[in-house]
Amino acid sequence: ILKLVDQIGAGNPFNAIAVRRLRSVGWGLIALNLYSLVRTIALPQVLLSNLQTTAGDFRVLPMISGSVSGLRSARVDGQFGFGLLVAGALALLLAEAFRVGTAIREDNESIL
């Protein structure tokens, strides 16, 4: 990201390297979002599946359920936000705009 910022600050944002870097940032943000989703789904099952205490067994509950009276419940709450997904999509959109800008700049330079 710092190389991309330096490149844009130097006045040469519209080239193939900047497009590739922006795409990498966009796909990385989307991958982080997908990782967060997988972790949210899998973490309760992995962490709480063999949980036993001196007070008895726990029942593993999904994140959106309520506890049942008379049963001890254990829950791991995960968070899923669309912020990383939106930021990744915007980075990919910006990469596409930079790709078009690169094509326009190259066409403009070929005319002159």
Question: Tens digit of pLDDT for each residue in 13-23?
Answer: 888 888 999 99
Cβ contacts of 85 within 8 Å, gap of 6 or more: 29, 30, 33
Sign of the Cα pseudo-torsion (90, 94, 99, 100, in order): positive
Task: Tell me the mean pLDDT in the region 54-63.
Answer: 54
What would the two tokens of residue 4 be?
């991309």
Dihedral pair phi/psi, residue 74, rounded to 5°: -125, 140
Question: Tens digit of pLDDT for each residue in 18-48?
Answer: 899 999 999 999 998 888 888 777 776 676 6
Task: Give residue 92's pLDDT.
Answer: 95
